Structure 1
Amino acid sequence: MDDKIGIRLIGTAKQTLKMHRTSKNPFIRLGISILYTLSKPITEVKRFLIDKNFRSIILMRLLNSKNVHQTTSLTYMNRYPTIFSACRDFFEGKQDIKILSYGCSTGEEVLTLRHYFPHAKIVGADVNKSSLAICKKLSVDNNISFVYSNPNELEKHGPFDVIFCMAVLQRQPHYIAEKGITSLKKIYPFEKFEKQIIGLDHLLNSQGLLVIHYTQYSLLDTVIASKYEPLGNYNQDDYNSPIFDKNSNIRENTKQQNTIYIKSGR
């Protein structure tokens, strides 16, 4: 069968199903509901087989769930210019800084950071092997490297002067907002966020910067909060998803979340 004819037939079938979802005949409505229910897993299986990135995300969640936070690989160049500029200005005059892009996805953040920090050593880390494969094909200088993100590997490359963790420490924020979910206890508990913050703190030099942007929790709720103080008024006030407390419950009155923190060394 010609591909175009097949696509048209599928489109026509979908339109027919939509038209009959509100049928007055309860048997027709039941039949349509069953067809929709059955079509979802089939669609997911098909996507798993043909979409390499989707397959990588599913396998990551199944085989490496303890290290997975955000599951999307969305990224683009110069995504946070105000934040990047503030961090560059903080290190003005210091050339030999070491940077970790934690959750670097397909590498656009690392390429962007090179423009802001032309002499820095930059390490991009991610748990998505499909994204890392893309990173490793990028044309970069000898002071940029990409590594699989696990504590032992990061330890080899640290400690760092600044760690960027941008839109990583969260889980399905748009879905959470859309469904009106008020507790993340079963989806993305605070304890997982806190454990990761402690791990990043371990990799950061005293007087270094920990940059946590677009997250469902606050660093100031963690057990290491006393080590950090906010730098300036940089925040995530354009983050439209709910914020949760250390009990993983939604905050009724969300305060602006700071983004850039200085490690005091206390």
Structure 2
Amino acid sequence: MNIKPYRSGMIGTAKQTVQLHRSSRNPFVRFGVSTLSMIWNGARSAIRVCVNADYRSILLMRLLNSKNVHQTTSRTFMDRYPDIFAACRDYFDGKQELKILSYGCSTGEEVLTLRQYFPTAHIVGAEINRNSLAVCNSRPVDDKITFIYSTRDEIQKHGPFDAIFCMAVLQRKPHYIAEKGIRSLKKIYPFEKFEQQIIELDGLVNPQGLLVVHFTQYSLSDTAAASRYEALGHYDQSNYTSPVFDKNSDLIVNPAPQNIIFRKVRM
């Protein structure tokens, strides 16, 4: 007997029963169901904390370092944005001794990918999730690759940079936002937090360097740093299917695709 389908069926039935009784006219039934639901969710979270190192790391990160946290998921994979990486490689046209920052490098796949596009560059991967950073530090890499815990001071020690890649980092719960139809990010991920991070990264970009911001809920063009940059090429995040928001943190209906690659033309 295959236990997994049987167990999934039982859980599904239990969930349907709970949903049915949530709407009961009997206040004692509603209270009992709500209490059981809270106990179940608490127990499930406790189990995940014990057995899932990444979940535990994300939870601690959000509890102890919330002001510096943007995206919380550690999902990534190799060569995730080939067109963008290739465009940046071509922009530098074989220039040697580049310094590159992968901001929010997760478990390191982006850094390893950048090495393929920039064989001689010094590459720094900065990550705030300590579990992901441990994975990075377990990887066999060359002596021009460095992984660091992501703090403003630690990143500054390794800068400034010719290119900074900030890919799928400056956003919060994009799928949840879309699913719930949320029209304001003020309480979840306000524009001011995004803008402050862009300003910090801007301070680390060399003249004529690149700041690459992709898969984000806001636009760099709305920030105070925008006047120092111009878009490179026609690369945009038209394949970003999650909602985007304006500088007031309000939903933009039918937004124009946002630019991705920015060249620093003014200090």
Asked whether the two chains share a fold, i.e. TM above 0.5, the reply is: yes
Deviations 1:217-250 (A, max 9, x none): 0000001110000000101101011110111111
Secondary structure of 1:76's counterpart equals coil
- Quote the offset at 1:188 in angstroms: 0.4
Structure 2: 5+ residue stretches without partners: none
Q: Which residue of 1 aligns with 2:14?
A: 17
* Distance in 1 (alpha carbons) for counterparts of 2:15 and 2:64: 37
How far off is 1:252 after superposition? 1.8
CA distance in 1, matches of 2:125, 2:142: 13
Query: Which amino acid counterpart does residue 11 of structure 2 have in structure 1?
Result: K
CA distance in 2, matches of 1:15, 1:216: 33
What TM-score does the superposition give when structure 1 sets the normalisation length?
Answer: 0.92
1:98 equivalenced with 2:95 (yes/no): no
Which amino acid in the other structure matches residue 116 of structure 2? Answer: H
Spell out, residue by residue over 1:103-135, the C-alpha distance to the aligned partner (whole angstroms, 9 max, x if none): 000000000000000010000001111111110
Percent identity over paired residues = 59
TM-score by length of 2: 0.92
**Which residue in 2 is equivalent to 1:39?**
40
Cα deviation 1:136-173 (Å, max 9, x = unaligned): 01010000000011111111100000000000000000
Look up the match of 2:136: 135
Q: Which runs of 4+ in 1 moved over 4 A?
A: 7-13, 23-29, 31-34
Runs of at least 5 residues in structure 1 that lack an aligned partner in the other structure? none
- Compute the displacement of 1:33 (Å): 5.2
CA distance in 2 between partners of 1:62 and 1:45 (Å): 15
Contact 1:155–1:203 (CA under 8 A) maintained in structure 2: yes
The match for 2:160 is: 159
Relative distance call for 1:147 and 1:10 in structure 2 (3 A) is same
Instruction: State the partner residue of 1:239.
Output: 240
Return the offset for 1:178: 0.4
1:235–1:258 CA contact under 8 A, matched in 2: yes
Provide the secondary structure at the position in 1 that maps to 2:50.
Answer: helix
- Cα distance, 1:18 vs. partner? 4.2
Q: Partners in 2 of 1:17 and 1:150 — Cα distance?
A: 44
User: What is the match of residue 116 of structure 2?
Assistant: 115
Contact 1:110/1:122 (8 A) holds in 2: yes
